[in-house]
Every structure is written in C-alpha cells, then in structure tokens.
Chain A
Amino acid sequence: MAHGVLGENGKERQPRRRRLHFPVVEAFFSDAGLLSLFNVRVFKTVLQPPYEIREFLKQSYLIGNKSLALVGITGFIIGLVLTIQSRPTLAQFGAESWLPAMVAVSIVREIGPIITAVICAGKVGSGIGAELSSMRVTEQIEAMQVSGTDPFKYIVITRILAATLMIPVLTVFSDAFAFYGSFLGVNLRGDVSFTLFFSQALTKLTFMDVFPAFIKTFFFGFAIGLIGCYKGYNASTGTEGVGRAANSAVVTASLVVFIIDMLAVQITSLFM
C-alpha cells in the first residue's frame, strides 16, 4: 500500500502522478480551444444590438484605405512578373496568344486572393493585434467596460466585420492592378491593344473561376480579423505582450489563410 506524505494542513497528501508533458502540443490545443470559444462568442454577439455602425464604417475605411496602395502595387508587380515568366514557356508551345487568359485565370482563382490575404494578414492582422493588446495593457478596454460600453462589441465585432468585408474588396482591386501589370508585361515584347487583352483575358474566365475565389476571400478576411482580435484582446500585460500578440497574429493568420485556401480548393474541385 502506498503512503502519501503529510501536507501543510496535516492531511495525507497523495504523491503526484507523473504525466506526459508536451508543452508545445498543449499550448497548440489550448490556443485552438480558446480561439474556438472566442469564435463562438463572436457569433453569439454579432447579431445582438446595439450595432456599432459608425465604428464599423471607420474600421472598414481604415482597413481598406490603408492597405489599398500596398495591395495595388503588389498586385501590379505579380501580374507583370507572372506574364514575363510565363511567356517563354507558352512560346515554346506556340501558345503565346493564351497568355492573357492563363494569367487571368491564375490571378482570379489563386494569386490575387492569396497574395491579398497574406499581405493583409501582415498589415491588418498585426495592426489589430498590436492595437488591441496595447489597449489591454493600458487598461483602455477596462475603461470602456466601466463606462458602460461592451468592449467586445465595440472593438472586436466591428474589426472582424470590417476585415471580412474589406478583404474581398481589396482582392478585387488587387486583381484589377494585376491585370494591368499583365497588360504591360504582354506589351513589353508585343503590341496588344487594351481592348484585345481584356477581351482575351475575361472571355476565358468562367463563373466557377470567379465565384468560389471571391467567396473564399470573405473567409480569409474573417480569419484575419478574428485571429488579430483574439491575439490582441487576450494579450498578456506588459510591452512584451504587445509585441508577442502582433507577431503571433501575423503568423497564425497567414497559416490559417493557407489552410482555408487548401480547403476551398478541395471543396471547389467537388463541383467541377
């Protein structure tokens, strides 16, 4: 019979059972569980009044306006580079005339949404993570609560909705800039009119190219907003917590964007 040792209060204390300890795995599942609970809270709260319309519009403006230039320039460069890189291969098969259509399909189905989402995961996700964690550290969230405003509704819901709405809009802009970059790429070694290029590019696009790609951008936006808010809202105190929240928001959001993309491709392929 095993005997325990006497504890401080005189009661017999059982020896602690040794258990397997994998801190990284534990942290991963703990984080995933808490993120899921946070997600449930978002869905529970989002339809409850009062609706913070003004804050939502402000956040939409900030996310859209501040990311537009970056997304546009990146889209333009990607379109240009993709065209230049693809031309020699297509030329080998005598299929240079397919260049606009090929680039259009690549951009609309995959490159435009994923590049925009990854850029926004870096810019918007880290911004939200840093802002909210800074608000947590400086007790602004508590101050909001004490003044009678629900900080979850005012800060979290508005930012998640704004990101969900604005990432698709930014993707459309990114695609447009990429098309223009591709048009310039085609004209570096040829002479194709603007109308001809776009008619060649757009006529080859089908509903199944555009629709699933557009729908998945809403999920990208939601994931970026959700993870940024989760990391920032639950940040530990201190300046270290702010840095960690911002960094963690970018890494997690980027990873989740790729996972969503993989799932979206699998689901889309079922209908094709």
Chain B
Amino acid sequence: MESPFLKAATPPIEPIQEQIGQQTNVIEIRHLKKSFDDHEVLKDISIEVARGETLAVLGKSGAGKSVLIKCIVALLEPDAGTIILFGKDIAASGKKEQTGLHNRIGFLFQGGALYDSKSVRENLEFPLRNLKIKPSLEEKDKLVVEALTNVGLTDAIDKMPSELSGGMRKRLALARTLIQKPEIMLYDEPTTGLDPITSREISRLILGVQEKYQTSSIIITHDIECANIAANRIVLIRDGLCVASGTYDELENSDDEWVRSFFEWHADHTKATTAMQGKKSAR
C-alpha cells in the first residue's frame, strides 16, 4: 500500500507543455523595489513564472539577482511591490502561512548552506520534520535514499559535509532541497565556483529535476550555459531593472548590444574551448 505521506508529498504531475500553455502563474512579482541604505538595488522588477516553467535570471555580479530571490522567500523584506506565490501575497501572509509556503518552495543556496554539524543523512532528514504528515522512520529512509539516488550520492549517506567535494556538496544541497518535493525551486548561482564539467552536470541535474518533478523554477546565474541547458526563458537584469526577456535564441540575436554581449562572450568561450579540445585530441 502506498504511504499517505509519499502520496501527499508528491505534487500532481501533468504534461509540462500543457501546463505552460495554461499560463497559471505560480510566481508573480510586480514592481519590486529594494534598497540598502542609499543604494537602490532593485528599482522596478516585474517577473512571472508559469507552472512548470524554468526561468533564468541573468545579470552581472551585484545586479541584485540574489536580493530578488531572497525577497521571494521573505528572507529580505522589499521596500515596495508585491510578490504573489500560488496566488497569495506573501507580505499579507501570517507567519504560519509563510511557513506553509516555505514547505512548498525549495531554495538552493549559493554555497549549499549544508549543516556542518550534521551528517549527510541528518541534513536530508532535517526538512522532513516540518511536514504536516510526519513520515515514519522507514519512509524517512526511503526518501533519503531516493533523494541521494537522484543526485548520484548514495555512497555518501553517512559522511559529514566537510568530507565532500564542492560538486558533491552542491548535489547534496540540491537533494536536501528536493526531499520536500517542492513545487517551486529557487536556485541561487548553482554553478558558481565549480569547474566547467561539474557545472554542466549540475545544469543537467536541474533540468532532470524539472522534468521529473514538474517544478517551476527560477535560476539566478551569470552562467549562460546553465541558462541555456536548464531554462525555458531568460530575463536579464541591469541596474535594478528587467531589460530583456525571451528564449536563449531570441536574446542571442537581440538588437541590444549589451544583451548580445552576454551571449557573444559565451559563444567565443565555447569556440575557444572546443578548439582546445580539438587540438588535444589531435595530439
């Protein structure tokens, strides 16, 4: 018999394209503003994310991408504007409602934010304590193993986070976020600090997660390749404003020089890498 916990934790799966077609927005950000002292980081940001869609938010370092994502989960309080998650304005929600919303959102921190004093297993079990339907020990074990299998880390179950490499820590952080089966995933610089191969692995993992669990996602990044692999749509932020939005191909061929420069650098870099690989294989 299927566990009531597993049943409750798994969101209903519908074909992704059908859902995007319906355009039911799970995240709506309207005219968001946020300043720190005199520095206006977000001037006027409006973004929507449809159910099942993956949106990449690109921008230079310090453009306010991380501030935006932290406002979404109420880690930062915006100065103005509204953030609506699943049709609910988070500013108007009480503490209990916010906790309920947090249980439906997964947040992958830039540095992983793994609990150093807890083992891999304990890290994964930690988010399960907040679920309304408490899983039994057997169910916990099953979920932990499933989460680790998804990211290919089954052997690390009894290790401490300090024993893992950068890429493994990132994958573990992703597994910890996914164990709650969130309906929305927010990724803060998921590939920063990783080598190109591991970055690509993480990007493909994000895509795999989206396809498997039908999550709606926002990826904050300045890694064009990650955006290309994992996102359906890209938004570019500059000076606290959304300056462009579209698919990878649309933005790559944009008339705006600044927008194009983002993609040209990536194209040049890819060409150079391919050429180097070609030379190496010729030797």
A positions within 8 Å CB-CB of B: 131, 134-135, 138-140, 142-149
Contacts and interface: CB of A to CB of B under 8 A. Distances in A.
B109 interface: yes
A135 B105 CA distance: 21
Nearest to A146: B107
A139 B103 contact: no
A147 B102 contact: yes
Given A146-B75, A147-B102, A149-B129, A139 B116 contact: no
A148 B111 CA distance: 19
B99 interface: yes
Contact of B111 (A139, A144, A146, A147): A139
B258 interface: no
Interface string B147-182: 000000000000000000000000000000000100
Interface residues of B, number: 21
Nearest to B179: A147
Interface string B122-159: 00001101100000000000000000000000000000
Given A147-B126, A147-B180, A142 B99 contact: no
Contact of B109 (A135, A143, A149): A143
Contacts of B99: 148
B102 A142 contact: no
A71 to B, nearest CB: 23
B113 interface: yes
Contact of A146 (B73, B110, B115, B129): B73
Given A134-B116, A140-B116, A142-B75, A149 B111 contact: no
Contact of B113 (A131, A140, A148, A149): A140
Contacts of A138: 111, 113, 116
Contacts of B130: 147-149
A140 B129 contact: no
Given A148-B127, A148-B130, A149-B129, A143 B102 contact: no
B156 to A, nearest CB: 19
Contacts of A149: 126, 129-130
16 contacts: A131-B117, A134-B116, A138-B113, A139-B113, A140-B113, A142-B70, A143-B107, A143-B113, A145-B102, A146-B75, A146-B105, A147-B102, A147-B126, A148-B102, A148-B103, A149-B126
Nearest to A139: B113
B116 A142 contact: no
The 9 A-B residue pairs with the shortest CB-CB distance, nearest first, are A143-B113, A148-B130, A139-B113, A147-B127, A148-B102, A146-B107, A139-B109, A148-B99, A148-B103
A142 B103 contact: no
Most buried by B among A131, A134, A139: A139
Nearest to B118: A140
A142 B109 contact: yes
Nearest to A58: B117
Most buried by B among A131, A145, A147, A149: A147
A140 B105 CA distance: 16
Contacts of B75: 142, 145-146
Contacts of A131: 117
Contacts of B116: 134-135, 138, 140
Contacts of A140: 113-116
B102 A146 contact: yes
B127 A142 contact: no
Nearest to A142: B75
Most buried by A among B70, B111, B113, B127: B113
Contacts of B117: 131
A66 to B, nearest CB: 13
Most buried by B among A144, A148, A149: A148
Contacts of A142: 70, 75, 109, 113
A16 to B, nearest CB: 16
Nearest to A147: B127
Given A146-B73, A148-B102, 4 more contacts: A131-B117, A138-B113, A140-B116, A143-B113
A139 B189 CA distance: 14
